[in-house]
Amino acid sequence: MHTGDPLEVLLLGRHIPHAYLVAGLATALRAGALTADAVALEARKAAQAEDEPAALGPSGTGAGHPPGTVTFLHEWKLAHLPPDTRPLPSVTPYDQLLRRRHADGGAHREEEAQ
């Protein structure tokens, strides 16, 4: 997994308070999302959760909502692709070209050899 530039995580400290940054690091690490974007997202979620304590249930998640999970963008895109209804590719036209070339080329080579 690509972890990105560690400097990006350090620079988050300029914009995100330390406590939220540590919470974001811990959550991203538990989820296995070792990117600066994941850390920033989780840190912002921690800050937002503290700003909205009334909406949280006793477990620290939204009332009636299961704890969040991290979904990688490429996995989400793959899961939401429409079905591919195109026919499978065929190499038949290329096979026909190769057959013609071998037939023409073989006769030409025999003439050169004589």
The answer to whether the predicted template modeling score (pTM) of the entire model surpasses 0.75 is no
Please, which residues have CB within 8 angstroms of residue 60's CB and are 6 or more apart in sequence?
A: 49, 67
Spans of all domains in the chain: 1-72
pLDDT in tens, the chain (114 residues): 455 677 787 788 888 888 988 898 898 888 888 788 888 888 888 888 877 655 545 555 555 555 667 777 888 888 888 988 999 999 888 888 887 766 665 555 555 554
Q: Is 34 helix (H, G, I), strand (E, B) or coil?
A: coil
Measured in degrees and rounded to the nearest 5, phi and psi for residue 97 equal -65, -40
Closest to 37 measured CA to CA, from 67, 68, 79, 72: 72
